[in-house]
Amino acid sequence: MEISDTKLQGLEGGVGVVAGQIRQSLSGYYDIEVDGLIYRTRARGNFRKKNQTPLVGDWVEFKADSQTEGYILKIAARKNRLVRPPVANVDFAIVVTAVKEPVLSTNLLDRQLVMLEKNKITPLLYFSKIDLLNTAEKHKLTKLIAAYAVYYKCFMSPAPAPTELFAGLAGQLGVVMGQTGAGKSTLLNDLKPELELETGVVSKALSRGKHTTRKTALFPLAGTLIADTPGFSSFDLLDVTKEQLGGFFPELRAYSATCKFRSCLHLNEPGCAVKAAVAAGEILESRYLNYVQFQKDISSQKSKYRKS
C-alpha cells in the first residue's frame, strides 16, 4: 500500500528511523511491513506512561537492529480508531450478520452501523447462513435486506466473488466484524482459501460461537488490507450523544430536515417527519425501535456517570 503524507502525519523521521504500518499484533509484539519485509517490534515504555497503545493499521516510526528486534518510537495521527475490533485507520467494514445460529439481531447490527457511521467508515453488510432458512424465513429476510440496501451495500451467502465485494475499495483498509459465530473467518476462507483460518462451532445451547480468532492481523485481499478480528456478543454505544444519534441513521437523517423542530429527537415531539415516515412504512420499524432503545441506553449511561 502506497504511503501518503496524510498517513504519516506527525512523523518526523531521523537517522536509522523507518516508517511503516503495523500489520499484526500478538502478545505485546507488533509486526510492521516496510517494502514487503516484516519487522517484529515492541512498543517503548513511554507509550504506557502516555496511555498510548499501538494498534494494527497504525502508521509508525521505529528502529530495528534486525527483522526480529525493533521498537516503536512514534505513532502517526489516526484517521479513526475502533475499540472492538482494535484497529486504526479503517476505511470500510464488512459486517457479518448470521440470519440463524446465532439468531439474527438487528439491534446488534444497528449498533455496529451507528459506530461505523460515527467513525466515517463505509459499511458492507454480509448476511450469512442463508442456507439454514426455510422458504418463509427467506422471504421475510429478503424484505428486511431490501430496506437496508437502500442505504448500504448488501450481500448474502454464499460469498460473492472478491472483485464484486471489494469493487472500488482498492488500496483501502477494512475490518471484518460481527457477532461471535456469525461466520467471519468462514467468509474470509471462501474469499481467500489459502488463509486457512480456524473456524468455530456454534453452541446450540448458548447460540454462541467459540472465540477462534486469537490475534488481530491484516491480510492482503483483492487489492485491500483486511483485518480478521475476534467475535463478540455485545456492543456498547461509545461517545455518542442523544443529539448526535439520529445523524448516524441515514434514513432518519434524510427525513429529519422536515421535522417541525430543528432539535427534534424523533421521540415525543409534535410534527416529527421521522415518526410519520415510520407510520407510513417508509422507514423500517425495527430500525426506529432500535433508535429509541439506543436513546434510552445513552440516557442511562449519562445517568450512571452523573451518579458516580
> pLDDT per residue over 216-228, tens digit each?
889 899 999 998 6
One domain for residues 218 and 111: yes
One domain for residues 152 and 214: yes
Output the pLDDT for position 210: 43
Output the pLDDT for position 230: 60
Q: Let me know if residue 144 belongs to a domain.
A: yes
Residue 229 reports pLDDT greater than 80? no
Q: Let me know if residue 12 belongs to a domain.
A: no
Output the pLDDT for position 287: 97
One domain for residues 158 and 211: yes
> pLDDT per residue over 57-92, tens digit each?
999 999 998 999 999 999 999 999 987 778 999 999
> What average pLDDT does the segment 242-260 reach?
96
One domain for residues 287 and 250: yes
Binding positions for Zn(2+) are 259, 264, 266, 272
Residue 252: CATH number of its domain: 1.10.40.50
- What size, in residues, is the chain? 308
Output the pLDDT for position 208: 40
Output the pLDDT for position 143: 94
pLDDT band, very low/low/confident/very high, at 11 (cuts 50, 70, 90):
low
One domain for residues 96 and 125: yes
Output the pLDDT for position 234: 57
pLDDT band, very low/low/confident/very high, at 205 (cuts 50, 70, 90):
very low
Q: Let me know if residue 115 belongs to a domain.
A: yes
Q: Let me know if residue 13 belongs to a domain.
A: no
One domain for residues 218 and 169: yes
pLDDT band, very low/low/confident/very high, at 237 (cuts 50, 70, 90):
confident
Q: Let me know if residue 272 belongs to a domain.
A: yes
Grid coordinates belonging to 44: 517503548
Total structural domains in the chain? 3
One domain for residues 146 and 217: yes
Binding positions for GTP are 128-131, 178-186
One domain for residues 177 and 303: no
> What average pLDDT does the segment 277-301 reach?
95
Q: Let me know if residue 113 belongs to a domain.
A: yes
One domain for residues 209 and 286: no
One domain for residues 127 and 183: yes
Binding positions are 128-131, 178-186, 259, 264, 266, 272
One domain for residues 66 and 121: no
Parent domain of 31: 18-75
Last residue of a domain, one of 168, 194, 228: 228
Question: To the nearest 10°, the Cα dihedral for 286, 289, 290, 291?
Answer: 120
Q: Let me know if residue 236 belongs to a domain.
A: no
Q: Let me know if residue 6 belongs to a domain.
A: no
> pLDDT per residue over 255-264, tens digit each?
999 999 999 9
Calculate the average pLDDT of the chain.
Answer: 87
Output the pLDDT for position 30: 96
Residue 149: CATH number of its domain: 3.40.50.300
Q: pTM for this structure?
A: 0.84
In the chain, pLDDT over 90 holds for what percent of residues? 66
